[in-house]
Amino acid sequence: MKRFKPLASGFAVAALLALSAVPASAEYPDRPITVVVPFPAGSSSDMIPRLLGPLVSKSLGVPVVVENRPGANGSIGATRVATSAPDGYTILLGTTGVFAINQWIYEKPQYSPEKDFAPIINAAATPNMLVVNPSVKASNLKELIALAKAEPGKLTFASAGNGSTSHICGEALKVLEGVDLVHVPYQGPAPALQDVLGNRVSMICDNFSNVVEHVRSGALKAIVVTAKTPTAQLPDVPTAPQAGSPELEAGIWYGFVAPAATPKDIIEKLHKAFADALRDPTVTQRLENVGLTVIADTPDQFKAFIAKEAARMKPIVEKSRARIP
């Protein structure tokens, strides 16, 4: 019997080694998850994680906390997540600007969208819409361009910040139509929109979901949807091609990512929780009501999409001549 003791001890050691080899993520999650929103409260970027949060929390069994970290077109919040521990407890709700524009518009980007993040899911997308304060004496794109040419430098356009889709859209309008508009950047779409509503800035080319209710109420005038197809919510607003400026195309998408090197099993758990929440009928209807289309793709699909969008946005940014030191 003695000769079997070493063998038994060997099995014991092997068992202990096997247990110690179980990844730490096996018990994930066991504490609150923070979703960093790199923009102020009050926008679609903020609304989406707050809408999904309760369902994701119920699915994973832990609280989901939304943390707003605005600034530098999302770079501050994105950098916060990029440098966080890859343990699945700090994730980012990013946008077109965060993942596909910042790297081209900033001379010294603070992070790499493709190297510093592990994609989880592309949640939803919406086109942009150019809207003006009712005091602006233009009801369509042709009249707006004529007004801008008649009074160079008088009309202003707000944006959610340098490098945002609202910034690129305004700069593209200037280049495509040869007009002189003054850019007024803000730290997020909510304060930018408030100043357009308050007639302190003439216009904004913001995402549809942020401005649709103000158009419906008459607080803002819709000029053009910067997309190739009309929207179901406001079908009478002309598209860019219908308005005579087919190259004026801008939109925004919202996706969740974790820090690079986050274990695959954690990414899969997060993906399932967010995908199930996005496909909840109440959530889907709420998003569609404000012009958002649910995407809910896979992590691999989102990774490929980010790379494709970044490549697409590079020449658009260069053409707009928007650049930040």
Residue 176 structure tokens:
């495509």
Which residues of the chain fall short of a pLDDT of 70? 1-26
Domain residue spans of the chain: 31-125+252-320, 127-243
22 by DSSP, 3-state: which? Answer: coil
Fold match flag (31-125+252-320 vs 127-243): yes
Q: What is the pLDDT of residues 44-69, one digit of tens each?
A: 899 999 999 999 999 999 999 999 99
Composition of the chain by helix, strand, coil, percent to 5? 45, 20, 35
Instruction: Evaluate whether 44 touches 13 at the Cβ level (below 8 Å).
Output: no
- For residue 3, the model assigns a pLDDT of 41
Instruction: Evaluate whether 197 touches 211 at the Cβ level (below 8 Å).
Output: no
- Residue 321: DSSP 8-state: T
CATH class of 127-243: alpha beta
The fold adopted by the segment(s) 31-125+252-320 is D-Maltodextrin-Binding Protein; domain 2 (3.40.190)
Q: Is 37 exposed, middle or buried (0-12, 13-18, 19+ CB in 10 A)?
A: buried
- For residue 26, the model assigns a pLDDT of 59
- For residue 22, the model assigns a pLDDT of 40
Distance (Å, whole) CA 192 – CA 206: 9
What are the CA-CA distances from residue 292 to residues 78, 193, 232, 296 (Å)?
Answer: 22, 18, 11, 12
Q: What is the pLDDT of residues 200-227, one digit of tens each?
A: 999 999 989 889 999 999 999 999 999 9
Instruction: Evaluate whether 155 touches 184 at the Cβ level (below 8 Å).
Output: no
Any idea of the CA torsion for 198, 202, 207, 208, to the nearest 10 degrees?
Answer: 80
